[in-house]
Amino acid sequence: MISDMPAKMKHMSSELKNVDLRLISGVPSYLVNVFETLKSEWGVSNLSEAFPNLKTCLYSGTAISAWKDQINQLIGRPLNYFGCYASTEGAFGYEIPEINGGQNGRYSFHLEDFVLLFRRFGEDAVVTLQDLKPGDEVELLLSSPNGMVNYSLGDALRIATITPYITFEILGRIGQGMNVAAEKVSQQELSLAVERASRSLATNIRHFFVHPGQSTQGRPTYSWTLAVDEPEKISASKWSEALDKALMEVNDDYREARVDLQFVDIPKVNFIHHGIVQNYFRAVAGKGQLKMKSIFASEESFSEYVGLMMKVPA
């Protein structure tokens, strides 16, 4: 019932003393912050002695890949991780090691309590489980038993296998731009934040790129690269503050993660000359409908994209 997260974790540190913790369940970013608080409050290097029988982590909300090493270090040993694909409507899938070979991020549908239908991206027709093919990227629909009422959960999935079992991966929310600590910021809101920041700093932004990053304090952050006319004349710190403020104005999830929960750090900002983007656009725009990518899942994928732009002859 405590709304203030630091205060909540302070109370947890006293309640969890001498508790024989066997399993933890939650959003990975939350778990990391709880364990960091416990370690600090108890003055220990890790929590292995405090929780000698803790072996299992059931996670949801975001992928575990960015958080697993941090959790293992805080606990003092590797845990067994099992993902649950859950939403307000219920749990729609689980990671089952006997089916996915112990691969995190590969789920099986929970079919007992739900009727599920799908819509392939780019198509209008609704399809059933039997119609799915490996590699399909689909929108998940919660349906009535007769299939007449289809409610979109707003989630995008990629079908991995159909035999001997149907397994899938979660691509994210449809229209969602970023999600580094369970907050949800859409591409539209990212663009609006850039627009507001550029107005406040009277700077013309030619294009923006953003991907999940990590601050010097080790916390998740939004890592921005802005294409501008004169990169050498622009202050990264001012832009960091401006984008931070703008994101908090346009998205309550981001504001909560930054201010209330303190899970996300202030944005990191770098600059490139707009000529790189302009040259790439001119070189490839004639090949069809060009949509300059702005949002990336990782620093690696962003670096590959920039490398591609740099290879285009001027």
Q: What is the pLDDT of residue 288?
A: 46
Q: Tell which CATH architecture fits domain 176-311.
A: 2-Layer Sandwich (3.30)
Q: Any idea what DSSP says for residue 266?
A: P
**pLDDT at residue 77 is higher than 60:** yes
Higher per-residue confidence, 139 vs 88: 139
CA distances 185 to 170, 176, 233, 274, 291, Å, are 17, 6, 29, 25, 20
- The CA distance from 227 to 276, in Å, is 8
pTM, two decimal places: 0.63
Q: What is the mean pLDDT of residues 258-281?
A: 89
**pLDDT at residue 286 is higher than 50:** no
* 267, 223 Cβ separation under 8 angstroms: yes
pLDDT band of residue 289 (cuts 50, 70, 90) is very low
pLDDT band of residue 184 (cuts 50, 70, 90) is confident
Higher per-residue confidence, 103 vs 50: 50
**pLDDT at residue 57 is higher than 80:** yes
- The CA distance from 276 to 313, in Å, is 10
- The CA distance from 24 to 305, in Å, is 38
pLDDT band of residue 67 (cuts 50, 70, 90) is confident
Q: What is the pLDDT of residue 218?
A: 85
**pLDDT at residue 285 is higher than 80:** no
Q: What is the pLDDT of residue 314?
A: 62
Q: What is the pLDDT of residue 25?
A: 94
pLDDT digits (tens, 9 = 90+) for 167-182: 998 877 775 567 787 7
CA 255, 257, 262 angle in degrees (round to 5)? 115
pLDDT band of residue 291 (cuts 50, 70, 90) is low
Q: Any idea what DSSP says for residue 91?
A: E
User: What residue ranges of the chain are covered by domains with CATH 3.30.300?
Assistant: 176-311
**pLDDT at residue 248 is higher than 60:** yes
- The CA distance from 128 to 119, in Å, is 9
Q: What is the pLDDT of residue 176?
A: 59
Token reading at 148: 């007449």
